[in-house]
Amino acid sequence: MWTEFGSTTPPSSDTRWRIVGAAMRRYGYRPNALIETLHTVQETFGYLDEEALRFVAGALRVPLSQVYGVATFYHFFNLKPQGRHTCVICTGTACYIKGVPGILTAIEETYGIKPGETTSDGNISLVSARCLGSCGLAPAAVMDGEVVGKLTPQDIVARMKRWTK
Binding site for other proteins (CB under 8 A): 30-36, 38-39, 62, 66, 69-70, 73-77, 91-94, 96-98, 129-138, 140, 146-149
**Residue 152, CA atoms < 13 Å, CB-side half-sphere:** 3
Alpha-carbon distance of 100 to 93, in angstroms, equals 9
User: Contact at 8 Å (CB) between 110 and 149?
Assistant: no
User: Contact at 8 Å (CB) between 89 and 141?
Assistant: yes
Cβ proximity to other proteins: between 42 and 123 the closer is 42
Contacts (Cβ under 8 Å, ≥6 apart) of 165: none
State the nearest-atom distance from the C-beta of 13 to other proteins, in Å: 28
Cβ proximity to other proteins: between 87 and 132 the closer is 132
Cβ proximity to other proteins: between 14 and 75 the closer is 75
Cβ proximity to other proteins: between 106 and 147 the closer is 147
State the nearest-atom distance from the C-beta of 52 to other proteins, in Å: 15
State the nearest-atom distance from the C-beta of 72 to other proteins, in Å: 9
Strands across the sheet containing 141-143: 124-129, 85-90, 141-143, 146-148
State the nearest-atom distance from the C-beta of 145 to other proteins, in Å: 9
State the nearest-atom distance from the C-beta of 15 to other proteins, in Å: 24
Q: What is the enclosing helix (H) or strand (E) of 86?
A: strand 85-90
SS3 breakdown of the chain: % helix, strand, coil, rounded to 5? 45, 10, 40
Cβ proximity to other proteins: between 14 and 114 the closer is 114
Q: What is the enclosing helix (H) or strand (E) of 157?
A: helix 153-161
